Structures are given as structure tokens and as C-alpha cells.
Structure 1
């Protein structure tokens, strides 16, 4: 915080209401006013700037520095990761690998409900664990559209499915980052362990919810064995990993294992009634093992490079003192003490870049010129969504440095013994504003831990609740909505997609809130 005080009214309730204006305005802009995401983001950026300047008294230099820092982070690393991931996908499409990949999944079963479980749930969770930052939403939504799903419905289903994996995205960073704060009685392993009391319930439920949204109770009854295989395998495996190993592989191993187990199960069992969208043909394509292995190679490479990039010994090569890690903004904006670090080679986007370049070099059906033409096309397509993300992060940084997020956190913590009921709401707010569970835990994990110590509760449980509540906001965060609509060619329809997912986000959040309160009585 760089403002003089986080409580300019000397009344925490009044201050918190004013600090919450950007959040409420964002919701109203995208739902009631039906504004395009980019316009809603820019409007809210302007409003947040005025509140920070004239109410919270954040100096003009620090205010401008906050916005620029958010914009830089929107481009690097988030925009970098998104563009690289979508470019890799486009390379797979152009080279013909994607057709084989899609066909290999469709070949497991022509039933599109089962395709949703394989792609929308399992592959979604794998990509979340490998890359995060909107990559699974973008790629899986496009995959579903190519199989005959309606664009906005595909985006909605992928956003909801992401609720089962968002807590451990990008090699478990949302939980792993907690160790960097050196909080009293709170470690990433403790938080990882305590998520086992909440997330498995949600994880087990989501496949049922997905099929219900797609084909109602009838659909659940017809493919119940497959849903049970999916839910059980993923839930049990992730729970075991979070308790015994930690957060790093809590998405990757369960998703791959679930996809494999489900594929083997479907070789022996298929539903009596095959569900197809109107106009889709029932056809099963067959490919040799070699063709399937080659088709999946871009994503094998993606996994390989990202896992290398996540190794501590590799990260050490590109620490802050390394030559490939430098700071921007410092001294550039008059009156601002804010800077932002740029990690060139150690960035996750660079790992995906190498996967894309390796795919081009090892694929005969695409050359370098075609590959870089696809990169240019990707940059053009995602320019507006990335601009929106930059504006959102600018808002988040303004709120942080002005003390607005601190005011919100302190106000909620003042509720005393009822705080555990409200604790996940902080996480929801953090992810709604930033689109990232990592950023959410960066903002609010210290507040949750402090509140837990003051109240004499389990601080690690509250941080776990902050994480779980944050995941429920990924369904509706403007950043996620922007990525999803852009991926399926529906930029401008952000308000429609938010309406489709909002009630499920609130419903899951309500469960996390009540269940967290119950857990504080039990544990």
C-alpha cells in the first residue's frame, strides 16, 4: 500500500463500501448494462483511478505507475502465455495434427456427452495444471466447437469445468506461492492438505453438473457409469496427491490418469443411446497409434518444457539477479516508486514458445513462414482481449496500492467468529478482479492468515478457503470471460457468457462459504 491510509473516512464500513465500487460496477456493466468487456474494463479503470486519487489520496505518480505496472503484467507474462498457447494450437490445426487429435478423442466415443468429459473436463484440467492463465479455456472451448458444440455453450462448459482444477493451475503456483510470504503457522503444504476437505466435493460434483447442463437428468442417467469413473478417478487421485506430494502435480497427474482410465472404460462400455447435437453425424474415425502419438506431440512438448521450466534448479538460473531478468518503470514515471520485473527466458510463455517452434521444426506439413503468419494472426485476434486484461490488472494494482483491497479485507475480518463464513468471498473478489488465483492469494492470503491468528482459528484453513473461493470466481472473472469469448469467436458477447455462468459461480461460492464455517467447528 502506498496511500497514506486505507481508511480515509475513519469508518471502515463506509471505506469498504467505496472500495467495493469497482467490483459492483464491473458486475453491473457486464450484466445489467450489457457492455462489451473492453468498455467495461476501461470505464472501471477510470472510475478506480478517480477513487484512488481523490478519496484514498494515492499520489498521481504512484497511480499512473500502478496502471502501467498492471498493463505490463497483462502483456507479460499473461498475454505472452495466452498468445503462445493459442499459437501452438493454431500450429496443430494448420499441420493437420489437430484433426487427428480431435478424431482420436471423438473416436473413443461418438457420444458428445462423453466427449465433453474427455475434453471439457479431463483435457481442461491437464492444460490448467500445465499452463493455467486461461490456456485451458481457450483451447478446450475451441476443441468443443470443432466437435459441434455451440460457441457460447462450449465456453460456459469449459469455464465451469475449470472449477475442478483452478486451485492448482500452472504447476500448483496458486498454492505454492504461499511459502514466499513466510506466514505464521501457514505453509503451502498445510494449505494443500486442507483443500482436501473442500475441493474433492466440488471436483466430484462438476462432471455431473456439466452433463446436466448439456442433457439434463436423462443424460446423467444414460452415462452415469462414465461420470462415476471420471469423478471418482480425478477426485481420489487429486486428494491423494495434495495430501502426500503437494500442489505442483495436483492437476497434471489426476487429469492424465482420468483421461486414460475413462478411455479404457469406454472401450468396454458405451451408452445405449448416443447423444449427438442436431446436424452432427455419427461417425467414428480410426487412427493408428503412431498417428495419435504424433497428433498429441505439441501437447507432450508443452508438458515437457513447462515441467522443465518449473524445476527449482532451472528457476534458479533466471532469478532476479540473473542477466535475463530485469526491471521496468523504475524512475520512468515521475513521482512513482513502482517497478515491474520481466523474466525473459524463465517465463512460462517461453516454454510454450519452444514447444511451438519445436513442433514447426519437426512437422513436415507446416513451414516457418506459415507458422509465423499464424503468430501474426493470433496477435491480431487477441489484441482486444489482452488490452482488457491489462485494464483489469491496472484496476487491481490501483486497488492494492491505494489500500482499497486492504480496506475490504479488514472490513470482512471485523466480522469476528462469522469470518470463516465470509472468508471465501475475499478469494472470490480477488480472482474476479485479477482473473488469477495466484494474484488472489498474493493479495489476500496474508490477510486471511492474520485474521485467523487474531481470531484463534486455523489460518491454513482460511487460506485454503481463500483459494477455493477464488476458484469459483474463475467462472465469471472478466479476464476468463474475455479469453473464452475471444477463443470461440464471440468477442463482444462477454455479458451473455457472464449471465450463463454467474449463478453457478455464486452457487459454488455459497457452498464453500457454508462448508468453511462448518469445518472451523469440526477441525
Structure 2
């Protein structure tokens, strides 16, 4: 099969016209999803078809190479992303069918019965811990169902979880996005982490306030701002200190615990005057059923036993423990050495404009040290702990796959779209077009990262895609490469909430498949608003006003 060499201005030799064509798949995706309110899987498949057409007709990519690029992207969507998400949801489903989700709801209620406070504890603090350990959609999936378990309405639970999953993303999965960016660009990963740690804490300050506003409007902010402020300050301070002075790899772990402890601490001495509680029966969670007389009886029996709350938390404690072991020095080294298989995607032959092979044509089936494998082991241990037989355990997994079948299609289609745009050169064309703004590129640099994550759903993928672009722009404009590299990472975290794959995951776990467009409209304003703030911050950091914040 003929090889393909990337060309970034294929339409009449014009970067502008080429960028217009390159933007067509993204325009199609967002119009169908947010404007025409199509279901995510349908919008993703149509947008993939547009990306393939642009790759073949405008970029002259051989049909076979375009199809192979799409197939590798779909495989990446299946593993590791869906492998992580499905296992996380399977674990929650086992807590649901055994009644322990009700105990978990009571346990969170014991900290505070206020849904606004629960949004901060569950979506922001606990979600950040899951992001630190797993990433790739796990925090959104687990936080959404846990918020529903404490009585939050489905759409609100999904939206809150998506917005909460912002500040932690840059340091997610043991800071893989930053480590990847360092390897691709040759910059020091620790210095990159420090620079990101001088940007994302600003988001952490405001996100808890945004969450309580989403739950209860202005009244929520007025009545619970102390909790939101203390939690945000503790999280932001810990993230900054860890990223700059301890280890950027554990920044989110330190921040998550600091934020949670700060919230628990203030609740011991202060409580909101009014408590916003769930009204009516608990909503349906992830395809399950509301509480019945039988589950109430199970709950009463279990609450009579000592340590029942601890057992309800056990699956998540198991997850934390296993990820802590798996990422420890010697274990991590051994797992990486025996991770699985890495191979060139069969038949895919793409080189960049210089004739150099692209790293993205290599597929890494790192099954042994994948986050999904850790979650699979945690699920098996949960089944043993709760005394679930083999038949019910496998049945729960089959039900999870069947329930999220359209989410699986969406995620695989979106990653196929991302790989086609990446390997054909469409995404780089868009980035180069933005880089023409010269010194003002500092203002737009976070938008490039945002664009990458909005398409791929991954800050790691966005950094892989645009890392060298940011370095090249830094060399042309004289702006710090560490600043622009960090801006790509920080801007990218705000694209996470509107990524079609994350929208599909969030909608599916709360039982709202097909309403991804409505969810998109609920969160896109918050994402764009925070993106404007980050753009302004990065621009000021490129000027004498805030250049003292830039890593030297």
C-alpha cells in the first residue's frame, strides 16, 4: 500500500484555505451535536466520514491509509480508554446490585446532607483523586453515578462531574500528559510540571464555586461559599506546592486529599444555614432501579454491622491501593518492562513533512500496566469482598457492556476521527494557521490545546499532537517554550468537558443516552468562560506584567 507524507497546505498551497477544509469535521461534529441535537454516536460517525473525505480529497491521503488511521484510532478508543471506563462502571454496578451503593449514599450524607457540599466533596475532591490515579474518563463516570447515588438529578450530576473534571486533568494518570509533552519536545518534564502548576491552580480556586452555582444558583454560592472557597484554596495551594517543590507526578493526589480534608475540617466548625437535600426517591443510577423494600431491608441489615460505611467505600479504597502499588517505583518499572506488546499498526505508513515516521502509527497494547487492568483486578476483588458469585459478576459486566453499547460506538468513532485528522495533517494545519498571529499567539496558545482535547478527549493526545507546534511557535515568536507547552496542557483541560466521548460517557452512566447535545449546551459556556480566563493569564505571563511567573 502506498505510503503517505503529510502536507499541511494541500489546498492551493494556501494554509488559510487548507485550515478551512481541516475545520470541516469539527464544525460538522459541533453543529450536529450542539445545534441539531443529534445523538452523539450518529454525529461522531458522520463527522468521521467528513474527516475521511477531507483526508482523501483535500489532503490526497490514500484511501487505504486513511481507513487504517481510522482503525487504529478506533482500537485506541477500545483500549485503553473504554477498557478503563467499562471496568469502572462494572465496579459501581456490583455495588448497586448488592445494595452497597445505598450505604455509600448514607456515608456521604453523614459528612453533609447538602447537595452543594456533596458536589465539592464527590465531584471535585474525590473526582480529582480518580483523575490522578486513572484518568481517561474514569472520574466523570464514577463521580456522576455517585452524585446520583446521593440523590442528585441525572442531568445535573453529569454536568457537575464534567465541569469538576478540569483542574486535575493536567496532572491526571500520574501526570502522563506532562511527562508525554516532555518526551516529545525534549523539555524537562519537571519544569513543565512546575509551569502548569502556576496556571491550573487558578482554575481550582473557582471551580468549586462554579459547582455550587450549578447545583443551586446564586443562593448556593451565597450559602456555601466558605466550603467552596476553603476546598478550592486548599486544593490549589497543594497542587502548586507539589508541582513546584515536591513532585509534579503526585500533584493531584496531594491536592485531592488536601481539598477533602479542608472541606471536612470546615464542616466540623461551620454548616450552611439551610441544607439542600434530595427531594423524592433516589434517581435511577446507571440503568439500575430506585430503592425498593428489598434494598431498604438490605440497607437496614448492613447498617447494623460495625464498619458498614468502610465496606461501602471498600471498592474505591481498593482502587486507590492498587493504583498506589502499581505506580510505585519498582513495581512500575517491572510492569513497564512487561507491559504487553508495542507494534507498528499493520499497513499504516505515514511520515511527516520531513519524511520522518510518526510515533502515533505505533500501537501500544500495554495490557499489564494499563489503568483498566488495575480496575479489572479491583472489580474481581470487589466481587469476592461482596460475595458475588461468578454468574452474577459476569452478568453485571455483560449488562454494563449492553447498556453502554452506543457510548462504545461514540468513543471509538471520535478516536477514529482524531487519528484521521492527526495522521492526514488536518489538525496540524489548524494549529499552524493559529500560530500565524505572532506575539499574540500567547493569547491563542491555550485554544490550540483546547481544540486538541475537544477532539480527542485526552490532554495526553493533545500534547502529543501539538507539543512540537507550540515549541516551533515559541522559537518564531520569542515566547518561552515552557510557557506555551504549559498553555497547551492547561487550555486542554477545558476541552475535556465538551469532548464528545466524555459527553457520551457522562450521559450514558446517568441513563440519558441520546441527550448529549443538551448536556453539551449546559457545560460549554462554563468551559469557554474559563478558557478566556486561561488565555488572558497566559498572555499576561508572556508580558512583563506576569513574566515573573514563568519557569526560567
In the alignment, what sits opposite 2:366?
343
Q: Distance in 2 between matches of 1:360 and 1:113?
A: 32
2:368 equivalent to 1:317? no
Q: What pairs up with 1:192-207 in 2 under 5 angstroms?
A: 192-207=193-208
Alignment correspondent of 2:232? 231
Matching residue of 1:259: 260
Q: Do the aligned residues in 2 keep the contact of 1:3 with 1:403 (CA within 8 Å)?
A: no
Paired residue for 1:133?
136
For 1:132 and 1:517, locate their aligned partners in 2 and report how far apart those are by CA, in whole Å: 28
Worse overlay, 1-10 or 349-358:
1-10
| 2:487 counterpart SS class | helix
1:327 aligned to 2:346? no
Q: CA, structure 1 residues 311+56, in 2 after alignment: closer, same or farther (shift >3 Å)?
A: farther
* Contact preservation (8 Å) 1:435, 1:477: yes
TM-score (norm 2): 0.89
Out of 474, 493, 501, the residue aligned to residue 479 of structure 1 is 501
CA distance in structure 2 between the aligned counterparts of 1:496 and 1:247, rounded to whole angstroms: 36
Distance 1:195-1:20 versus aligned 2 partners, 3 A rule = same
Q: 1:427 aligns with which of 438, 445, 449?
A: 449
Distance 1:409-1:218 versus aligned 2 partners, 3 A rule: same
CA distance in 1, matches of 2:330, 2:47: 41
Cα gap change, 1:398 to 1:230, in 2 (>3 Å): same
TM-score (norm 1): 0.94
Aligned equivalents of 1:472 and 1:445: distance in 2? 17
- Whether 2:318 is the aligned partner of 1:301: answer yes
Instruction: Classify the secondary structure of the residue corresponding to 1:327.
Output: strand
1:197-251 deviation line (CA, Å, top 9, x unaligned):
3212211111111112222222222222222221111111111111113332121
Q: 1:274 maps to what in 2?
A: 275
Mind listing any 5+ residue stretches in structure 1 that lack a counterpart? none
**TM-aligned CA deviation for residue 507 of structure 1:** 0.8
Q: For residues 246 and 409 of structure 1, what CA distance do their matches in structure 2 show?
A: 31
**Are the counterparts in 2 of residues 3 and 59 from structure 1 also a CA contact under 8 Å?**
no
Q: Secondary structure at the match of 2:251?
A: coil
Stretches of structure 2 lacking an aligned partner (at least 5 in a row): 283-299, 352-356, 548-552
8 Å Cα contact 2:34/2:520 also seen in 1: yes
**Offset, 1:318:** 4.6
Q: 1:352 aligns with which of 375, 386, 396?
A: 375
Question: Within 5 A, what are the aligned runs for 1:79-478?
Answer: 79-183=82-186, 186-279=187-280, 290-319=307-336, 322=338, 324-327=340-343, 329-331=345-347, 338-364=361-387, 366-478=388-500
Distance of 1:245 and 1:446 partners within structure 2: 27
Report SS of the residue matched to 2:324.
Answer: helix
- Which sits farther off after the overlay, 290-299 or 235-244? 290-299
Root-mean-square deviation (CA, aligned residues, Å) is: 2.3
**1:108 to 1:328, Cα distance in 2 relative to 1, 3 A:** same
Q: Measure how far apart 1:152 and its partner are.
A: 1.0
- Bigger shift: 252-261 or 506-515? 252-261
1:352-411 deviation per Cα after TM superposition (whole angstroms, max 9, x unaligned) = 1111111222333x2222111111111112221121111111111111111111211211
Give distance in 1, aligned partners of 2:339 and 2:521.
46
Instruction: State the Cα distance separating 1:315 from its structure 2 match.
Output: 4.1
TM-aligned CA deviation for residue 137 of structure 1: 0.8
